[in-house]
Amino acid sequence: MKTSGVFFLRRPPFRVQLASPRDGHDHGWQLLLGERHSQRGIQTLSAMWIGAEADAFMQRHSHLKAGDCLSLHLDRLHVSRDELVGFVERGEPAPPRWPMAPTEDAGAALPSPPQVVSCGAHPLTSSTPHMPHSIVALATVKKRAQDAARARKSADEACPYPFESAAAGSFKAYYEAELQRMREEQAQAAQPEGQPS
């Protein structure tokens, strides 16, 4: 089973000796990962990254620590000793979970967590076909809704979030607000010049 997504490190990656060498490699990198799958808890998993690409990535990003986010493509996900495990095919650093708030004075910027909504995703099981994010930044929901409205797609057709989740509700609200804004702009553009609005 393959999946991809953004995960956070539960501790820095560490180099391990492989009990049975794979593809000519006798060592790999162990990544202990987490993903928030509900408001009640975190799904944990363990991934192994093997090969020259893994070594190069770890050398470039030797500063990785617990809490850092990675965008990973995982393969061969399976349950072993009551834990979900897999192998990393490729990966890259992901934006921090709580980006700095934009301000005029960058030196005065304070960490500001984005507003989030729950997607209502279910916990992972060995039969889960993919690994959905259950917590989504409202800014992402708003952008997707605006893009869908501009592309003239219906809200139901374009909504990428689970049915009846908070994220889906927010998506539809933003979609309606964007349609209203577009209608108002068209009405203003259609008014003859000099006419009071």
Instruction: Give the model's confidence band at 92: pLDDT under 50 very low, under 70 low, under 90 confident, else very high.
Output: very high
pLDDT of residue 122: 43
- pLDDT tens digits for 93-132? 987 655 444 545 544 444 445 555 555 544 444 443 443 4
- Name which of 114-123, 136-145, 158-167 the model is least confident about: 114-123
pLDDT of residue 18: 81
Query: Which superfamily is assigned to 1-95 in CATH?
Result: Nucleic acid-binding proteins (2.40.50.140)
pLDDT of residue 19: 75
140 or 65, which is more confident?
Answer: 65
Of 11-20, 51-60, 103-112, 157-166, which has the strongest mean pLDDT?
51-60
Closest by alpha carbon to 44, among 160, 131, 152? 131
Query: Distances from the Cα of 54 to the Cαs of 61, 72, 109, 193, in angstroms?
Result: 10, 12, 34, 63
Helices (H), 31-165: 52-60, 138-150, 155-158
Mean pLDDT over the full length of the chain:
76
126 or 3, which is more confident?
Answer: 3
Domain ranges of the chain: 1-95, 136-190
- Give, to the nearest 10 degrees, the angle between helix 166-190 and helix 138-150: 50
- Who contacts 196 (Cβ-Cβ below 8 Å, separation ≥6)? none
pLDDT higher than 70, residue 197: no
> How many whole angstroms separate alpha carbon 122 and alpha carbon 133?
10
pLDDT higher than 80, residue 171: yes
